Amino acid sequence: MWGGRFVSGPDAIMEEINASIGFDYKFASQDIRGSLAHVAMLAEQGIIEREAAKAITEGLEQVGREIEAGSFTFSRALEDIHMNVESRLAEIVGPDAGRLHTARSRNDQVALDFRLWIRDTIDTLDLQLQGLQQALAQRALDHAGSVMPGFTHLQSAQPVTFGHHLMAYVEMLGRDRSRLIDARKRLNECPLGAAALAGTSFPIDRAMTAKTLGFDRPTANSLDSVSDRDFVLETLSAAAICAVHLSRFAEEIVIWATPQFGFAALSDKFTTGSSIMPQKRNPDAAELVRGKSGRVIGALTGLLVVMKGLPLAYSKDMQEDKEGTFDALQALSLCIAAMTGMVGDLTPDLKRMKAAAGSGYAIATDLADWLVRALNMPFRDAHHVTGRLVAMAAERKIPLEKLSLEDMQSVDKRIVAQVHDVLGVEKSVRSRTSYGGTAPNNVRAQAKAWLKKLAREDKRGG
């Protein structure tokens, strides 16, 4: 492609380090879409003849069909997806294929392809996350009143419901989707026409190509157009946060599935056995979701390091933006699918969860709150009184609610029999009626609201 300037071919090592077709073949569909829009604009502007444009268009469509059918042969010698497509186009339509590259560069071409690919991928991820939210919200509705321990520091804190716990992840995923959608809005500008870095002297219509390709507008600065990878970084950042959320949930599933906790179990569909220990049922799907989060976070870090020292405009370092991104977003997609499957497969042990909810004196805060409400006691004093009662119950190795009224009055004489009305895990969760609290009615309302919202998204296509 640059034979006019060079008199010999590249060294084998140069070809090895330089070629990108081994991974940027993933841009095939986007590359052809971009070229179709570009050639239509060139013809409309009178930059190339309509007959040549017609032949190029038909040739590009044939190349697209060949790639989709798997009959296209990719060549490392042609370096990247752009030259592979153009070379095959030349075989189909002859010399007119060379007119396709008028008024553009591989710099704005790859920036366009990548934006289109990221945009398509965000749409897919958003649809997957929507499905995971629906699965979580439905399970939450089913278990709005199922009591389990709530933890801080992985120590029993206060009783919550299983539905409330699941709804926390619905909220997290909602923010993840919002971040991805925001990234999509910002990337939706078309770099095509920026050419190598300075624009072009041909009378192109960048608004036309932007509209054809579904962008809101053309990018405003040609230097920024070809050197910007913010849209990749922002998407990877949103993906990394999402991966962290999935990893946290996966960690909880791993913990719940241990015999020591025994809160929930996965079926054979999402577990594996041991080659030596016949009794084992390992939650490998959850562990792999937890592990793959590192790949997503690593891809973000890697690209930040690549970009941090690059002057404007394009540098070959930027070829390193693709492999990590492809791998990370593919891994995230797989993790979302696996987590959606596990949410549907997970079988909670409601009896064990409820029993554990009362351990560790988790209803102590309910007692302190009652002292404040019923006796008008300052909360710090109520905290102190409750702490003494917890110490008494712990010394006797009995639950807090098993302390007699006389026991409680030995610590504070003002305590009356009604105190027992608030002691108990189910009473505790029912009392948490503040907005966003764990009361079963709250959880049902939130789950139904989310399911209704997600159903509306289904009807309008996301």
> Rounded CA gap, 251 and 281, in Å?
16
Is 274 catalytic? The answer is yes
Is 201 catalytic? The answer is no
- 335-354 b/e with 16+ CB inside 10 Å = b? bbebbbbbbebbebbbeebb
Q: Given 153, 201, 275, 404, which residue is catalytic?
A: 153
Q: Given 75, 178, 274, 315, which residue is catalytic?
A: 274
Looking at the DSSP bridge assignments, the partners of residue 282 are 272
**Three-class SS string for the chain?**
CCCCCCCCCCCHHHHHHHCCHHHHHHHHHHHHHHHHHHHHHHHHCCCCCHHHHHHHHHHHHHHHHHHHHCCCCCCHHHCCHHHHHHHHHHHHHHHHHHHHHCCCCHHHHHHHHHHHHHHHHHHHHHHHHHHHHHHHHHHHHHCCCCEEEEEECCEEEEEEEHHHHHHHHHHHHHHHHHHHHHHHHHHCEECCCCCCCCCCCCCCCHHHHHHHCCCCEECCCHHHHHHCCHHHHHHHHHHHHHHHHHHHHHHHHHHHCCCCCCCEECCHHHCECCCCCCCCCECHHHHHHHHHHHHHHHHHHHHHHHHCCCCCCCCHHHHHHCHHHHHHHHHHHHHHHHHHHHHHHCEECHHHHHHHHCHHHCCHHHHHHHHHHHHCCCHHHHHHHHHHHHHHHHHHCCCHHHCCHHHHHCCCCCCCHHHHHCCCHHHHHHHCCCCCCCCHHHHHHHHHHHHHHHHHHHHHCC
Structure tokens at 157: 């804190």
Return the number of other C-beta atoms located less than 10 Å from residue 195's C-beta: 22
Catalytic residues: 153, 274
